[in-house]
Chains A and B, each alone.
Chain A
Amino acid sequence: MALDPGLAGRTFAPTPPYTVSREKIAEFTAAVGAEPLDGGSIAPPTFPIVVAFQALTRLMTEPGVGIELHNVVHAEQRFDVVRPVRAGDELFAELTVDSVRSTAGTDLIATRTSVRTTSGEPVATAFATLAHRAAAA
């Protein structure tokens, strides 16, 4: 299956609201082996991926997009940080495909996921590049 030729520039529906608990921050902090920040109320810097990953999963599984999950590799990840995630934040993620570049049997899909609070405050932008290997002919 080929990638949707109209994929570049497409914005996907926002993810459902995600309320960040102190328990989830503690779980993620322990998973990355870090010391609790500000008494456990502030999440480690990569925490926005928890919400952004839901948007990426939607991109990779939505019918018609043409991505085959087992042919995808996470090639690059960057974050622009507005502020750290805090306990009590109600977050959602909205993903846009910035570009699709094809080179030697691989499609490089550059995505931009805005992570904001449900009251509209920006928290971070997660830029993920996925390398999608085209199926063998």
Chain B
Amino acid sequence: MTWQSGEALDARSYRITRADLIRYAGASGDFNPIHWSDRIATSVGLPGVVAHGMYTLALAARALTEWVGDPACIVSFGARFSRPVAVPDDDCGAALEVAGLVTDVRDGQASIDLTVTCQGAKVLGMARAVVRC
């Protein structure tokens, strides 16, 4: 990669449906009912079923992998789960936007700030990655 500081990476858009959450629960082993039961989710004060934070982070990592090409280039990444992603029980689900900005390039590594939003609101805080470039 020949990235430069200040470079914006191609934003990605991913759709999250209830079926995606069920599939992710099975694949990850995280069967917390707030990710599949409206009854449980609303009982703990959520608007309804919400996406796993780790599923949202996995989609951010998917964008990161698409940007870097080789997953072996990823040195570190992570985020705060600052706002839950509500996933309605319909055919559309929720739309997640993942944007990236190269903030620094030095010593063969690039730092990337990720902006992950749903309906215009940031859902991940301090979402950052470091990759070899």
Contacts and interface: CB of A to CB of B under 8 A. Distances in A.
Contacts of B29: 50, 53-54
Name the residue among B30, B44, B57, B59 with the largest chain A CB count within 10 angstroms: B57
A44 B78 contact: no
**Chain B interface secondary structure, helix, strand, loop or mixed?**
helix
Nearest to A28: B27
Nearest to A71: B44
A99 interface: no
B76 A34 contact: no
A50 B65 CA distance: 19
A79 B79 CA distance: 9
A10 interface: no
A31 B28 contact: yes
Contact of A30 (B23, B77, B78): B23
Contact of A74 (B26, B44, B54, B77): B54
B81 A77 contact: yes
Contacts, number: 90
Interface in A75-90: 75-81, 83-84
Chain B interface size, as a band, is 20 to 34
B80 A76 contact: yes
A42 interface: yes
Contacts of B24: 31-32
A4 interface: no
16 contacts: A31-B24, A31-B26, A32-B55, A32-B58, A37-B65, A37-B71, A44-B62, A49-B54, A50-B28, A50-B29, A53-B29, A75-B80, A76-B81, A78-B76, A84-B72, A84-B74
Interface of B: 14, 20, 23-24, 26-30, 44, 53-55, 57-59, 61-62, 64-65, 71-72, 74-81
6 nearest CB pairs, A to B = A78-B78, A31-B27, A45-B61, A32-B58, A46-B58, A76-B80
